Copies of this chain bind each other. A is one copy, B any other.
């Protein structure tokens, strides 16, 4: 599935750093490589992974390859998280309602006990 690859791509600090850099705009492979101590081929691998996850797109013109962020892929993750949040918040709401109900019952029981 798509999510596997997006989450997988984001599970590495180097790749998250690349994504963060690309949030600020396009960059060439060389530019992306500068902040890292890594050998170029290693970094290229990360870029490949980011590309195959759909998080990054790149195009080569002349001898330089420009990379750019594909924000839709990040949005996919946001959507998934939002969906989970909705489910667990609904549940917490139900739970809260349930607790409220219990409290009221308890109160009315207390009244009954007093009036006995």
Chain B residues closer than 8 Å to A13, beta-carbon distance: 1, 3-4
**Tally of chain A residues near chain B (CB < 8 A):** 28
Chain A, 40-82, CB within 8 A of any chain B CB? 69, 71, 74, 77-78, 80-81
Whether, in the assembled complex, A91 has its beta carbon less than 8 Å from a beta carbon of chain B, the answer is yes
Q: Is the interface of A mostly helix, strand, loop or mixed?
A: helix
Stoichiometry, as copies per complex, reads 2
Give complex CA distance A77, B6 in Å: 13
Whether, in the assembled complex, A24 has its beta carbon less than 8 Å from a beta carbon of chain B, the answer is yes
Chain B residues closer than 8 Å to A12, beta-carbon distance: 4
* Option from B3, B24, B81, B84 in Cβ contact (under 8 Å) with A91: B24
- Which A residues contact B (CB, under 8 angstroms)? 1, 3-5, 7-8, 10-13, 16, 19-20, 23-25, 69, 71, 74, 77-78, 80-81, 84-85, 87-88, 91
